[in-house]
Amino acid sequence: MPRPLTATIHLDSMQHNLARARCCAPGTRVWAVVKANAYGHGLERGMRGFADADGLALIEPDNALRLRELGWTKPLLLLEGIFDGADAQLLVSHGIDSTVHSVEQIVLLEQARLSGPIDVHLKMNTGMNRLGFAPPAYAAAHARLRAIPAVRNITLMTHFANADELEHPRLTIREQVARFSSGARGIAGLRSLSNSGGVLHQALLARELANDWVRPGIMLYGGTPGGKSASEFGLRPTMTLASEIIGIQDIVAGDTVGYGSRFEAAEPARIGVVACGYADGYPRHAQQGTPVLVDGVATTLIGRVSMDMLTVDLTDVPGAHVGSRVTLWGAGLPIDTVAQAADTIGYELMCALAARVRVLEANLDSHG
Ligand SMILES: *Cc1c(COP(=O)(O)O)cnc(C)c1O
């Protein structure tokens, strides 16, 4: 018997969320972002779930090759660009597009003396201050890249720091777009600006956000980038982490539960032990009170999450028994709610799904 813990991936919801992204940004080409093992969903499942995307974007060059091997023939984009000269050759041999964010990467492309044409995204730093050329340096970088014979199309790109919040007190989308426009003035080329937050704000910023390509990630996986909840954005969960009750303890007032005896019963209580712990990707920092569903009934986490188990309060779930289904996140329990209770974001929980968790596929409808 396998351990009852499973992560069910809802490919139909991935498709649905991609269609939502298209609705938000009509007429715009979509890079579905599948970095980090498709946000923990599995690279190959990302490829199938987002088969309708115009391209797949990711970080890892080896995974770009893997997608080609798996039969993906549409565009691929490396979001951090290449890391060495050998990567430069891969761009040509496998038809992979690359971000260019630094002088060092331009030098790699110059020195590679590439035979075939490559398409690149030239990144501007408009305030994120991670990667990219400052607006005043952008035109020169563009010209230098243009002079490389193998370089064909150059798409103009930037990345938003606060796309989830239109009126961020430190740096707004509008401010970043204004810097982008000034740095890109007079330069022809397609434009790629928006992550999920930008896509979801596209309707409000239709005038400012001139995207030819958008790069949604988290929204495609049914998570919110912030602002409103995923369901308010019309997104569906794509990963349901579920397990079972494997043990029950009836305790009396004064008894404690688990490591550190963090939970102490004030009155008699019934405790359910769930086969899922931090070594599965459930956050150890989830607070007591984090919601958990047992047979579809909402209850809460109590005590400390341990490596292989966590404990829940069954006092008000009288029907619960060993074998009862437990939903940790996903259908019926937004991953963002769990993330919030652990002081993190849905992104991190998805990406941290551990390799030992058995992964299944199902349509969301068939799981209720
Ligand atoms: C990860 C990433 C995205 C997707 O961001 P989400 O917030 O998940 O939509 C878009 N663009 C770049 C450059 C990224 O690295």
Q: Give dist(CA 292, CA 300) in Å, integer.
A: 5
Under 8 Å between Cβ of 324 and 270: no
Question: Which among 33, 59, 180, 193 is the best mutation to test ligand 1's pocket, defined by most ligand atoms within 8 Å of the CB?
Answer: 33
Q: Considering 171, 198, 227, which residue would you say is the last residue of a domain?
A: 227
Residue with tokens 């958990």: 292
For residue 233, report the distance from its CA to the centre of ligand 1, in Å: 18
Distance from C-alpha of 64 to C-alpha of 54, rounded to nearest angstrom: 15
pLDDT at 114: 95
pLDDT tens digits, one per residue of 194-251? 999 999 998 788 777 889 999 999 999 999 999 999 999 999 999 999 999 999 999 9
Take atom 14 of ligand 1 and give the residue whose Cα is closest: 79
Q: Average pLDDT across each block of 10 residues of the chain; the chain has 368 residues. List them in order.
A: 96 98 95 98 98 98 98 98 96 97 98 95 98 98 98 98 92 96 97 96 82 97 95 97 98 97 96 98 97 98 98 97 98 97 97 98 72
For residue 111, give the CATH number of its domain: 3.20.20.10
Residue to mutate, 79, 124, 126, ligand 1, most ligand atoms under 8 Å from C-beta? 79
At residue 364, the pLDDT reads 79
Answer yes or no: do 288 and 151 share one domain.
no
Does the reported pTM lie above 0.75? Answer: yes
| Domain extent for 217 | 11-227
Please give the pLDDT value at position 366. 58
Ligand 1 contacts (CB < 6 A) are 33, 35, 79, 159, 195-196, 215-218, 225
From 138, 228, 259, 278, the catalytic residue: 259
Residues 53 and 183 in one domain: yes
Whether 35 is catalytic: yes
2 inside domain? no
pLDDT of residue 204: 81
Q: What is the DSSP letter of 287?
A: P
- Nearest CA among 34, 35, 36 for reference residue 46: 34
